[in-house]
DNA sequence: CAATATACATACTGGTCGGTATGTTTCTGC
DNA sequence: GCAGAAACATACCGACCAGTATGTATATTG
């Protein structure tokens, strides 16, 4: 097996185990079993369980955020309200029942680890700030294009949007019900519409 | 020490430890140390760690929900928009920095345990349903009184309100910043205002 | 006053955890 | 082709964990 492949297999296995059980309760043994390698391989690539967790955050989860939210909004040429709605709809579509039951990987890790580990907190913080800033910029751009109401504060609105998104995911996870996600998502879509001119 | 006192001391200690570390990572030894009793006392009152967790949910956290959100909204005589805003402001005021860092106890437990334990899921589900129903009823009442716009769907709106509340708490917890909570709360207040006539 | 139940305290157990020390094999550079 | 590094595998360790078995003091009841 190629070295880079083994590292990636480990990252993928760790991502799924952490997504399922949370970081603290994620078992290295389970990760190794799922990855099909042994402890020697893990500690060859990662110095500790925590470093493995950091890598999952910085490489796997970061990629998800980028492809789902950052890149679609980065080429901010059109109407940000439509772009945001497209992101939301596309993100919702690709969630299967298991994803709903397990919730947002970024929020899960941030919720679990930010109160008890600085390293996780700093890394999740960077990602949320990137997310907020991207939405805020898109909204600001939309205001200049006359597509978004001038009265709204882009930063405050971006924060509220992300908060509602995470809130919807949380409620759907708690109830384990996709209908909840859809109903909640509908309210978000309505709110997004209210931002347009 | 009175028997009921010991039980309550254990519940309080368990609540705080679980709030800090999450249920799975909460150490019984730490709980016992904080409560000032030994393992014999714990297993005299609770059959297992899980049962202790259930009791924390059903007795301690349930009480918080009741006093903060259910009872103020139950006597639904006035304008629900004002009542909801009062609840939000009051809830926000009594949160200190530690509470913000640790997040909403109900949401924490629901997020952590609902994917992996039916017992927790059922119990958190009941509490969320109660919360949603109370807000929904208040909104419906407000519609009859002409205080709330007729076009809105009370159930869908209640879901969105709770989702945004949990979302705001999550974002504040992630950033460990009270300013985030205040800014996010302001957006919620604006949204609540938009429901009125 | 005796018998029993309640309300704990203490000591211990098996299992799992993250981490490490020590191989062993394969690949790479000279 | 040989030395050394890279890429793993295997075996083991101390710490901690939830849970249990047993002991004991106090309160209750007949």
Q: Taking residues B71-95, report their average pLDDT.
A: 92
Nucleotides of C under 7 A from a protein CB: 6-12, 16-23
Q: What does the pLDDT read at residue A2? A: 56
B52 within domain boundaries: no
CA of A17 to C1' of D16 (A): 22
Confidence grade of residue B75 (pLDDT, cut at 50, 70, 90): confident
B188 within domain boundaries: yes
Query: CATH number, domain at B26?
Result: 1.10.10
Q: Match 């129903």 to its residue by tokens.
A: B133
Contacts of A14 (CB under 8 A, 6+ apart): A26, A31, A35, A52, A53, A55, A56
A89 within domain boundaries: yes
- Name the residue of chain A whose CA is nearest to B180's CA: A159
Whether A168 sits inside 8 A of B170 (CB atoms) is no
Alpha-carbon separation of residue A23 from A26, A31, B25 (angstroms): 5, 11, 10
Query: Do A104 and A187 fall within a single domain?
Result: yes
Query: Do B146 and B95 fall within a single domain?
Result: yes
Query: Do B116 and B35 fall within a single domain?
Result: no
Number of domains present in the structure of chain A: 2
Q: What does the pLDDT read at residue A195? A: 96
Confidence grade of residue A77 (pLDDT, cut at 50, 70, 90): confident
Q: How many CA atoms lie within 13 Å of A111's alpha carbon, on the beta-carbon side?
A: 31
Q: What does the pLDDT read at residue A197? A: 87
Query: Do A119 and A34 fall within a single domain?
Result: no
What is the DSSP-derived secondary structure letter of residue B194?
A: T
Q: What does the pLDDT read at residue B2? A: 58
Per DSSP, the three-state class of A115 is coil
B37 within domain boundaries: yes
Query: Do B39 and B82 fall within a single domain?
Result: no
Alpha-carbon separation of residue B158 from A39, A62, A66, B153, B164 (angstroms): 48, 32, 31, 8, 10
Please give the Cα distance from A143 to A137 (Å, whole number).
Answer: 10
Per-residue tokens: B94: 């009594």
A152 within domain boundaries: yes
Q: Which domain holds residue B181?
A: 58-193
Q: Which of B114, B170, B183 sits opposite A111 (nearest CB)?
A: B170
Please give the Cα distance from A29 to A12 (Å, whole number).
Answer: 14
B172 pLDDT higher than 70 = yes
Q: What does the pLDDT read at residue A55? A: 98
DSSP A54-109: HHIIIIIIHHHHIIIIIHHHHS--S-HHHHHHHHHHHHHHT--HHHHHH--HHHHH
Query: Do B5 and B93 fall within a single domain?
Result: no
B168 within domain boundaries: yes
Q: Taking residues A55-66, report their average pLDDT.
A: 98
Query: Do B63 and B129 fall within a single domain?
Result: yes
Task: Say whether the CB atom of B138 is under 7 angstroms from strand D.
Answer: no
Query: CATH number, domain at A36?
Result: 1.10.10.60
Query: Do B28 and B76 fall within a single domain?
Result: no
Q: Which of B110, B156, B166 sits opposite A186 (nearest CB)?
A: B156
B43 pLDDT higher than 70 = yes
B53 within domain boundaries: no
Confidence grade of residue A1 (pLDDT, cut at 50, 70, 90): very low
Whether A141 has its CB under 8 Å from any CB of chain B: the answer is: no
List all residues of chain A from 77 to 116 with a beta carbon under 8 Å from chain B.
101-103, 107-108, 110-112, 114-116
Query: CATH number, domain at A64?
Result: 1.10.357.10
C-beta pairs of A146-152 under 8 Å, 24+ apart in sequence: A146/A197, A147/A78, A147/A79, A147/A80, A147/A81, A147/A196, A147/A197, A148/A79, A148/A80, A148/A81, A148/A195, A148/A196, A148/A197, A149/A195, A149/A196, A149/A197, A152/A195
Q: Taking residues A31-56, report their average pLDDT.
A: 97
Q: What does the pLDDT read at residue A152? A: 97
Of the candidates B105, B81, B94, B116, the residue with the CA atom closest to the CA atom of residue B188: B81
B61 pLDDT higher than 70 = yes
| Tens-digit pLDDT profile for residues B86-98 | 999 999 999 999 9
Q: Match 């309210």 to its residue by tokens.
A: A187
Q: What does the pLDDT read at residue B77? A: 75
A125 pLDDT higher than 90 = yes
Confidence grade of residue B76 (pLDDT, cut at 50, 70, 90): low
Query: Do A12 and A68 fall within a single domain?
Result: no
A52 within domain boundaries: no
A160 neighbors B164 (Cβ within 8 angstroms)? yes
Whether B163 has its CB under 8 Å from any CB of chain A: the answer is: yes
Whether A124 sits inside 8 A of B174 (CB atoms) is yes
Q: What does the pLDDT read at residue B3? A: 54
Confidence grade of residue A76 (pLDDT, cut at 50, 70, 90): low
pTM: 0.95
Query: Do B109 and B150 fall within a single domain?
Result: yes
Q: What does the pLDDT read at residue B4? A: 73
Please give the Cα distance from B33 to B47 (Å, whole number).
Answer: 19
CA of B8 to C1' of C10 (A): 23
Query: Do A14 and A78 fall within a single domain?
Result: no
Per cent of chain B over pLDDT 70 is 98
Query: Do A72 and A34 fall within a single domain?
Result: no
Q: Which of B112, B125, B184 sits opposite A163 (nearest CB)?
A: B184
Whether B159 sits inside 8 A of A187 (CB atoms) is yes
The mean predicted confidence, pLDDT, of chain A is 95
């Amino acid at each position: 097996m190629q070295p880079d492949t083994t590292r990636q297999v480990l990252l993928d296995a760790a991502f799924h185990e952490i997504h399922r059980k949370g970081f603290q309760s994620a078992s290295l043994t389970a990760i190794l079993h799922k990855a099909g390698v042994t402890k020697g391989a893990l500690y060859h690539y990662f110095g500790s369980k925590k470093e493995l967790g950091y890598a999952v955050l910085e490489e796997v989860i970061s990629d998800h955020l980028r492809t789902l939210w950052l890149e679609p909004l980065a080429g901010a040429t059109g109407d940000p309200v439509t772009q945001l709605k497209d992101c939301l709809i596309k993100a919702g579509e690709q969630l299967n029942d298991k994803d709903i039951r397990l919730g947002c990987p970024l929020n899960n890790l941030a919720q679990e680890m930010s109160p008890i580990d600085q390293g996780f907190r700093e890394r999740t913080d960077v990602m949320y700030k990137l997310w907020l800033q991207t939405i805020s910029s898109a909204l600001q751009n939309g205001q200049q294009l006359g597509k978004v109401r001038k009265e709204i504060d882009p930063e405050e609105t971006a924060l509220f949007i992300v908060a509602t998104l995470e809130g919807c995911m949380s409620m759907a996870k708690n109830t384990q019900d996709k209908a909840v996600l859809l109903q909640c998502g509908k309210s978000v879509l309505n709110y997004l519409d209210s931002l347009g001119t």
